[in-house]
Amino acid sequence: MHIDEHSITDAVIRSFDGCDNPRLKQIMTSLVTHLHDFVRETRLTEAEWMEGIRFLTATGQKCNDTRQEFILLSDVLGVSMLTVALNQARSPGATEATVFGPFYTDDAPRLEQGADIAGDAPGEPMEVDVVVTAPDGSPIAGAQVDVWQADEEGLYDVQRATLGTRRRGRAAMKTDAEGRLRFRGVVPTAYPVPTDGPVGRMLVATGRHPWRPAHMHFMIRAEGYETLVTHLFREGDPYLDSDAVFGVRRSLVVKIPSSPKPVLSHTFVLDRLISDSA
């Protein structure tokens, strides 16, 4: 078979004929089709393709146990939020999901109600008082709530080498019998995503800013309900309409009163698992 810039796409797609996984075959076929169309549309040069390979290599090399540069790349290209929007449609009234972000860790300290998750992190102290309910408003007791946030200087614990493996600004807690969870953190502030790696250099090269609006992360899990990964964003933040990772949803923007003391309050409504409601 003669291979040229047009016939090569069909040749690659036919190479998947022996794939016995229909979903994998569909994904690979679509990937090759769109990737080849991209190369043809842009008339990509060999030097540009090699630069792209160097960029992806550097992205992988920047990843470690506490930093995921590929998630950051997915975030700033809007792919993370697109997959959330496609796969996490919620029932009316259920809390909307948003991006996971690159700074979650699975070793957050397990703390009790009323704990101070900030520890010695810099920032203005803030009370957090949230409730987790079912769609009918009934409280969900014993829901596991993972929370994590940056400090006043815009850094997560894993970004501070001086902390080593010590965790602060994050915790895993459980709701009480009324579905309520109270703890203390710091007032969230806007911060830039890391710009010391290939993704940051790409943002600069394309004329984009790296800022995320002030927010706190939540992941909520309870038996019989869909896991919710979301943020609460601070009302009035100047970056709400230009979030570097496109994660803002208006229903997640909340007011944090400053008098007599900062308090973040919200009710999270979990969706029931489809299998449970069938």
DSSP sequence for 229-255: EEEEEETT-TTTTS-TT----GGGEE-
Which residues, 6 or more positions from 267, have their beta carbon under 8 angstroms from its beta carbon?
A: 130, 131, 132, 133
Over residues 130-141, the pLDDT tens digits come to: 999 999 999 999
* Residues 128, 213 within the same domain: yes
Over residues 61-99, the pLDDT tens digits come to: 999 887 899 999 999 999 999 999 998 777 889 999 999
- For residue 254, tell me if it sits in a domain: yes
* Residues 150, 252 within the same domain: yes
pLDDT of res. 66: 79
Higher pLDDT, 173 or 67: 173
* Residues 87, 202 within the same domain: yes
Domain tally, the chain = 2
- For residue 121, tell me if it sits in a domain: yes
* Residues 14, 89 within the same domain: no
* Residues 153, 269 within the same domain: yes
Phi-psi domain of 6 (left: phi exceeds 0; alpha: psi -120 through 50; beta: other) = alpha
* Residues 73, 38 within the same domain: no
With a threshold of 0.75, does the pTM exceed it? yes
Over residues 4-38, the pLDDT tens digits come to: 898 999 999 999 999 999 999 999 999 999 999 99
The CATH number that applies at residue 178 is 2.60.130.10
- Is the pLDDT at 277 greater than 70? The verdict is no
Q: Which domain holds residue 38?
A: 7-44
